[in-house]
Amino acid sequence: MAKPLPGRVVNQIRLLRFMANEMTQAELGERIGMTRQTVAAIEAGKYSPTLEAAFRIAQVFGKPLDEVFQWEG
């Protein structure tokens, strides 16, 4: 069985929310069709969103995907 490769997805959502007039997790969740708890889990690195959700989040902040999510190897 293949071993999971080291590394993880990190994100700048908390910073971007702050810069977007201190948008709340609930507001972001509403705009991308997710619960506040799921947004909190993504921010905390407890859940890696699908590519589609990641693009939706980036679109809300008007940023390219790689400014929102990065791979930390």
The residues binding other proteins (CB under 8 A) are: 29, 33-38, 41, 44-50, 53
3 state SS of 72? strand
CA 62 distance to own-chain centroid: 13
23 vs 41, beta carbon nearer other proteins: 41
> Residue ranges of the alpha helices (H) in the chain?
13-19, 25-32, 36-43, 51-61, 65-68
19 vs 43, beta carbon nearer other proteins: 43
Rounded to the nearest 5°, which phi and psi values hold at 11? -145, 165
3 vs 21, beta carbon nearer other proteins: 3
CB of 58 vs other proteins, minimal distance in Å: 16
